Structures are given as C-alpha cells and as structure tokens.
C-alpha cells in the first residue's frame, strides 16, 4: 500500500467524503476553504456530495443565497469562496498569484501599468452594471481605449478579482456573471493570513505536506513551511514523508470500495506528486483527462465520463485493471447518486 492510499482514512474523513456530512453547501465551501471550480458543470457534485444536497439546483441556489462567489484567488483558476473569507485569503495569496499573472501577460506584450489600468476599468464596469458578463466588460475596456480579448482579458479581470473588489457566479450551462464587492481590509497581516490558510487547508483536506499546501495556495515551498509552522499544526513523519495534521482531527474514517468524484474535486490537492503517479500508474493520466476521478479503496484508479441520453444518465468508467465485485456494486450506487443529483432516475453504468 502506498503512502497516499494509507492516508485515505484520514483524508477522506477530513474532506467529508465519508462520515458525517456537512449541514449545507455553504458549510462545505467554508470547511474546505476554497473549492476548485473552473468546470462549472461538475463542481456542484463536489459540493453536494459532502452535504447530501438533493440536487444540483439546491447547491447552486444555496451557494448564491449564502454569499459564495466564484473567483480567482488561490491560483490562476476558478474557485468557490465565501465572500467573508475573501479579504484574508487574498491577503495571503494575492501577491503570489500576481507573480504568476505578470510574466504571463508580459510574454504577450502587455505591461503591468496597462494591466492595472485595465483592472480599474473592470472594477468600475462591474460596479455600474452588476451581473455583467465578460463580453460586457470587454466592451467597457474598448470604450476606455484598452481593448483586450481572450487570455489577456481574462487576466485583466483576474487582477480585479485579486483586489477582492469583483467576483461572480456561474450557473451550469450559463455565462459567468460578475458582481461588485465592497473592499474590506483584511484583519490579518500577511503572515497571519497565511497561517490561517494553512490551518484551513489541513482541517479541510487532512494530513498534508508543505508541497501540498504550496500547490493548492500558490505559496512558495518556503512560505508554505512557515505558514504550517505558524498555524499551530502538528508535524510528524509517515512513510518517510513530513506531514502536518490538525491536533483535533479525527483520523479513522471508513474507506469506501469506490468513489466517483468530479475531475477537479478538492481531493486533487493530494494527487499532484510523483508518488501518487507511481501508485496510480497509467490510471493517473486517464483520471486527469476524464470528466471525473475514480477512487477504488482509497487509491486513484481511473476516470469516468457521463452523458444524458433518453432521460437516462450513462456513465462510462475506465480503470487500470480488474474491478472487484464490491467495487462494481459501489460504482453503481455512486452512479445512481449522481443521476438523482441531476434529477434522473435511471442510469447505465459501463466499467472497462
């Protein structure tokens, strides 16, 4: 058994993929700290399965009512984050995400001064037209003589989001729409905010290395180590790895025979290193290029895809080896749960 599979009882429990579900979708986001959300059609499943939400519509509505926004704040990708947590998370990570943004836009000929000026226009446009789309923002930039499209437009909006003055939401199948946020100075300084982020990450994700936190948050490895040390966590060694844990965390959760998780489920914060690749073998690439992750007995084992045809959810599971009978039965229950979440009663499961 590899180190990551041996950690599955603690990590699945910390992430509330097993054990007592959280009370509602907002509680899921706040427990995890942030939920990766660039794939807006599947992120409700990541949230809903952790709180036993009945449907995708229940999740989307609860997040909107509860003050959860979709924004860029940890890495140059979308996350769900509670609006009250945005100021201190931005304080912890904003400069690190900007360190990724600036070289990227400079390679495309956009200097920092112009980028910041464009972000000012973005903030003003969203304040004056709440609910606007990225196309609406682009037209405002055109009017200001700062025409940007595609990747450069996305990064100009991202900078406005890093200022915690703009965020938004996206319903499955609809465009992302932006909303203004009132600038709120963080109560924590940078070091305190990073320690708080480290504590939140470990609480919601389970035993973690500094590299896990660094990848999730965009902090450097050195900054991640300091944040973990400052957070009041416990460091120990397991199978030759230095891991940090929450002193109050439960560590003995059940490990289901099978799980069907969204492609960008928060579990992926633990599946980006060489040891996980080695444990998964060829199944790693299958998982990372599919619509979702297949986890068998706590180990990343493959991927899955779905489509709706004739009112039935069809789920195709691809794994790198034989699937025991108990795992097949668990996969069918997972597929049925996914179908019901999307308002369907029938499912066709193919395992290969």
The pLDDT tens digits for 63-99 are: 999 999 999 999 999 999 999 999 999 999 999 999 9
Residue 104 domain flag: yes
Phi then psi for residue 80, to 5 deg, are -85, 135
77 and 170, same structural domain?
yes
Residue 161 domain flag: yes
174 and 72, same structural domain?
yes
The domain boundary residue, chosen from 130, 164, 180? 180
Give Cβ neighbours of residue 295 (< 8 Å, ≥ 6 apart). 258, 259, 261, 267, 301
Average pLDDT value for residue range 116-127: 97
**Residue in 54, 26, 37 with CA at minimum distance from that of residue 344:** 54
| pLDDT value at 271 more than 70 | no
Q: How far apart are CA 166 and CA 119, in angstroms?
A: 10
Average pLDDT value for residue range 33-49: 93
Read off the pLDDT band of 273 (50, 70, 90). Answer: low
The domain boundary residue, chosen from 128, 154, 180? 180
CA distances from 331 to 261, 311, 335 (A): 11, 20, 6
Owner of token pair 């360190």: 99
Per-residue tokens: 280: 């998964």
Residue 249, pLDDT score: 78
Average pLDDT value for residue range 265-285: 81
Average pLDDT value for residue range 204-208: 94
Residue 2, pLDDT score: 63
Q: What count of Cα atoms within 13 Å lies in the side-chain half-sphere of residue 341?
A: 23
Bridge partners, 235 (sequence order): 244
Burial (CB count within 10 angstroms: exposed 0-12, middle 13-18, buried 19+), residue 342? middle
Name the domain count of the chain.
2
Q: How far apart are CA 101 and CA 121, in angstroms?
A: 18
Owner of token pair 């009882």: 9
Read off the pLDDT band of 203 (50, 70, 90). Answer: very high
pTM, two decimals, is: 0.94
Residue 285 domain flag: yes
Read off the pLDDT band of 200 (50, 70, 90). Answer: very high
Residue 311 domain flag: yes
Residue 159 domain flag: yes
Residue 92, pLDDT score: 96
More confident residue, 43 or 268: 43
Q: How far is CA 53 from the centre of its chain?
A: 18
DSSP-derived letter for residue 208 is B
Residue % of the chain over a pLDDT of 70: 98
Give residue 278's domain range.
258-351
| pLDDT value at 43 more than 90 | yes
| pLDDT value at 272 more than 70 | no
pLDDT digits (tens, 9 = 90+) for 232-264: 999 998 777 889 999 887 778 899 999 999 999
Phi then psi for residue 316, to 5 deg, are -110, 120
How open is the CA angle 202-266-302, to the nearest 5 degrees? 125
Helix (H, G, I), strand (E, B) or coil at 287: helix
| pLDDT value at 1 more than 80 | no
pLDDT digits (tens, 9 = 90+) for 280-331: 888 888 988 999 999 999 999 999 999 999 999 999 999 978 899 999 999 9
The domain boundary residue, chosen from 132, 160, 180? 180
Residue % of the chain over a pLDDT of 90: 80
Within 10 Å of residue 150's Cβ, how many Cβ atoms?
9
Residue 50 domain flag: no
Residue 196 domain flag: no
Helix (H, G, I), strand (E, B) or coil at 67: coil
Per-residue tokens: 3: 């180190």
Read off the pLDDT band of 336 (50, 70, 90). Answer: very high
Residue 341 domain flag: yes
Q: How far is CA 303 from the centre of its chain?
A: 18
Average pLDDT value for residue range 207-215: 94
């Amino acid at each position: 058994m590899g180190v990551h599979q041996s950690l599955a009882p603690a990590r699945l429990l910390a992430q509330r993929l097993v054990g007592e579900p959280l009370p509602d979708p907002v509680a899921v986001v706040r427990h995890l700290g942030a939920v990766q959300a660039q794939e807006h059609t599947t992120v409700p499943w990541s949230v809903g399965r952790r709180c036993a939400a009945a449907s995708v519509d229940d999740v989307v509505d609860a997040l909107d009512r509860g003050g959860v926004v979709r924004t860029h704040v940890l890495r140059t990708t979308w996350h769900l984050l509670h609006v009250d947590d945005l100021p201190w998370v931005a304080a912890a990570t904003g400069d690190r995400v900007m360190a990724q943004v600036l070289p990227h836009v400079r390679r495309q000929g956009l200097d920092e001064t112009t980028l910041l000026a464009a972000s000012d226009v973005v903030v003003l446009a969203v304040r004056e037209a709440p609910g606007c789309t990225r196309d609406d923002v682009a037209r405002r930039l055109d009017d200001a003589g700062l025409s940007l499209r595609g990747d450069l437009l996305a990064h100009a909006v991202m900078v406005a989001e890093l200022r915690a003055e703009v965020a938004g939401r996206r319903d499955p199948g609809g465009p992302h729409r932006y909303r203004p946020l009132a600038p709120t100075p963080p109560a924590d300084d940078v070091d305190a905010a990073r320690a708080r982020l480290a504590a939140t990450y470990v609480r919601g994700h389970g035993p973690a290395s500094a590299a896990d936190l660094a990848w999730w948050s965009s902090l450097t490895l050195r900054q991640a180590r300091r944040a973990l040390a400052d957070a009041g966590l416990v460091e120990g060694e397991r199978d030759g790895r230095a891991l940090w844990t929450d002193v109050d965390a439960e560590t003995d959760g059940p490990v289901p025979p099978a799980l069907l998780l969204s492609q960008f489920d928060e579990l992926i914060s633990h599946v980006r290193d060489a040891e996980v690749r080695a444990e998964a073998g060829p199944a790693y690439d299958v998982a990372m290029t599919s619509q979702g992750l297949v986890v068998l007995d706590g180990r990343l084992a493959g991927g899955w895809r779905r489509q709706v045809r004739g009112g039935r959810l069809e789920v195709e599971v691809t794994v790198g080896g034989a699937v025991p009978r108990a795992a097949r039965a668990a996969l069918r229950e997972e597929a049925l749960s996914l179908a019901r979440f999307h308002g369907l009663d029938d499912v066709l499961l193919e395992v290969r």
